[in-house]
Amino acid sequence: MRKLYNEDSFLFEFEAVVTGCSYHDKKKLYEISLNQTAFFPEGGGQPSDLGYLYPENQEALIVLDVQEKENQVIHYLEKPIPVDEKLIGKIDSCRRLDFMQQHTGEHILSGLVNKHFGADNVGFHLGLSEVTLDFNKPLELSSLRQLEMLANQAIWQDIPIQAEFPKEEVLVNLDYRSKLELTEDIRIVTIPGFDTCACCAPHLKSTGQVGLLKITNVQAHRGGVRVNILCGRRALEDYTKKQDNIFSISASLSSKQDETAYAVSRLKEETLQIKEENNILQTKLLLEIAKTLPSPEASCHALLIIPPMNDIAIRNMINELTLQYSGYVAVFWGDDVNGYRYLIGSKNRDCREIGTLLKEKFNAKGGGKAPMIQGTAVTTGETLKEIWISL
Ligand SMILES: [Zn+2]
């Protein structure tokens, strides 16, 4: 079987003859082999090509998966094609180009990381939306930013990329990156001046076709780092999405696009201050409302049923009132239709006991410790008043 993708990575249409057709029970698909194919099977971290086969004597068939088995490229289809039938194969070129942009970008950056920091790429994931590179040494974001610039300079230089199977005697003296200890059929992908790496996947013809390489995330990973990158079309789409986002943030904050981080932190500080002021005001308001309660001499318990208010202010007020009332101080906020949230505090009693009573009476949810419990309850203000009178 001739593997055309090794000869020309931009060959997206080809003629072939069926050399094998059998049914795969587990996959419930037909396994088709051809005398030659441009369909790349999954390998080297790169997902398989997809596309169509157009047999001479039947309708077009979708290629659902492509895998390599015993050096044969197997095309998986829902219907069989008779052996010896001639066909035309067409690859989803957008999918292949996208994968090649990400993969060649990965080689450029991995080569640079290896050359400048001696770190190896020990994991490469090329998904439909995410590309990650795992390096076995910790790397600073600032260092990676410098390499990102160098990688893009390599792209702008539009360096021709070579992919070949060197003879053994050449290979012995060649210094190249490799994840596997292979001894035969080693394909070497060379980006002169930047990277030499063993790789079975199709690559772009020159670095310029990568278009753009952008590092989008860096995080610590197994003693090294995991780096997310986006190349070519994906990088542009990501830029557009982020540009739209920043445009909308800067418009709503009336700040310049490159000053939105400062504007957001200032807004956060202001919000925090307003929240603190609000807590103080609401606590004052609640203490005013609490003046309507029977005095601690008349009743040792206190019950307040109020519309929704700030949790912190309610907690502050309960802390104040438990100094005055020896029994339970309870606040229920909400309404009879949607239910209530509650906080109950006490200086002398175990609030978990009244928590149990509320669960028995109307299946209240919640928990806490002896001095204070909290939860939610679907009940009415009238029922609550009755319970408190009976305490
Ligand atoms: Zn590779």
How many Å apart are CA 114 and CA 327, to the nearest integer?
Answer: 70
Mean pLDDT (the chain, rounded): 95
How many Å apart are CA 50 and CA 52, to the nearest integer?
Answer: 7
pLDDT in tens, 170-180: 888 899 998 77
Q: Which residue has the tokens 């002169």?
A: 192
CA of 122 to the centre of ligand 1 (A): 12
CA of 203 to the centre of ligand 1 (A): 8
- The residue ranges of DSSP E strands in 200-313, in sequence order, are 213-221, 224-231, 302-306
pLDDT computed for residue 286 by the predictor: 87
Of 210-214, 307-311, 370-374, where does mean pLDDT reach its minimum?
307-311
CATH T-level fold of 283-390: Diaminopimelate Epimerase; Chain A, domain 1 (3.10.310)
CA of 202 to the centre of ligand 1 (A): 8
CA of 241 to the centre of ligand 1 (A): 28
- Tell me the pairing of strands 86-91 and 329-335: unpaired
pLDDT in tens, 328-358: 999 999 999 999 999 999 999 999 999 999 9
CA of 220 to the centre of ligand 1 (A): 23
What CA dihedral angle connects 377, 382, 384 and 386, to 10 degrees?
Answer: -150
CA of 91 to the centre of ligand 1 (A): 20
CA of 45 to the centre of ligand 1 (A): 7
Q: Does position 391 have pLDDT exceeding 90, yes or no?
A: no
pLDDT computed for residue 172 by the predictor: 87
CA of 129 to the centre of ligand 1 (A): 18
Cβ distance 62 to 48 under 8 Å?
no
pLDDT in tens, 12-60: 999 999 999 999 999 999 999 999 999 999 998 999 999 999 999 899 9
CA of 106 to the centre of ligand 1 (A): 8
User: Which amino acid makes up residue 212?
Assistant: L
pLDDT in tens, 90-132: 999 999 999 999 999 999 999 999 999 999 999 999 999 999 9
| Phi/psi at 279 (5° precision) | -60, -45
CA of 213 to the centre of ligand 1 (A): 16
Q: Does position 81 have pLDDT exceeding 80, yes or no?
A: yes
- Chain centre to alpha carbon of residue 74: 32
CA of 103 to the centre of ligand 1 (A): 6
pLDDT computed for residue 144 by the predictor: 98
pLDDT computed for residue 168 by the predictor: 87
How many Å apart are CA 25 and CA 13, to the nearest integer?
Answer: 29
CA of 89 to the centre of ligand 1 (A): 25
pLDDT computed for residue 187 by the predictor: 94
CA of 201 to the centre of ligand 1 (A): 6
CATH tag, 2-91: 2.40.30.130
User: Which structure tokens are listed for 177?
Assistant: 């990156």
CA of 199 to the centre of ligand 1 (A): 4
Interhelix angle 232-253/93-117, nearest 10 degrees: 80
Could you tell me which residues come within 8 angstroms of residue 360 by beta carbon, excluding any fewer than 6 positions away? none
pLDDT computed for residue 290 by the predictor: 87
CA of 29 to the centre of ligand 1 (A): 29
pLDDT computed for residue 242 by the predictor: 96
Per CATH, the homologous superfamily of domain 96-249 is Threonyl-trna Synthetase; Chain A, domain 2 (3.30.980.10)
pLDDT in tens, 188-228: 999 999 999 999 999 999 999 999 999 999 999 999 999 99
Taking alpha carbons only, the member of 115, 265, 289 closest to residue 193 is 115
CA of 48 to the centre of ligand 1 (A): 13
pLDDT computed for residue 183 by the predictor: 67
CA of 200 to the centre of ligand 1 (A): 7
pLDDT bin (cut points 50, 70, 90) of residue 368 is very high
Q: Does position 182 have pLDDT exceeding 80, yes or no?
A: no
pLDDT bin (cut points 50, 70, 90) of residue 181 is low
- Tell me the pairing of strands 65-69 and 224-231: unpaired
CA of 170 to the centre of ligand 1 (A): 20
DSSP 234-253: HHHHHHHHHHHHHHHHHHHH
Max Cα separation, the chain? 102
CA of 215 to the centre of ligand 1 (A): 18
CA of 44 to the centre of ligand 1 (A): 5
How many Å apart are CA 361 and CA 388, to the nearest integer?
Answer: 12
Higher pLDDT, residue 378 or 183: 378
pLDDT computed for residue 6 by the predictor: 96
User: Which amino acid makes up residue 185?
Assistant: D
Q: Where are the domains of the chain?
A: 2-91, 96-249, 283-390
Q: Which residues pair with 372 in a beta bridge?
A: 345, 369
CA of 95 to the centre of ligand 1 (A): 16
CA of 107 to the centre of ligand 1 (A): 6
Output the CA torsion sign for 343, 348, 354, 356.
positive
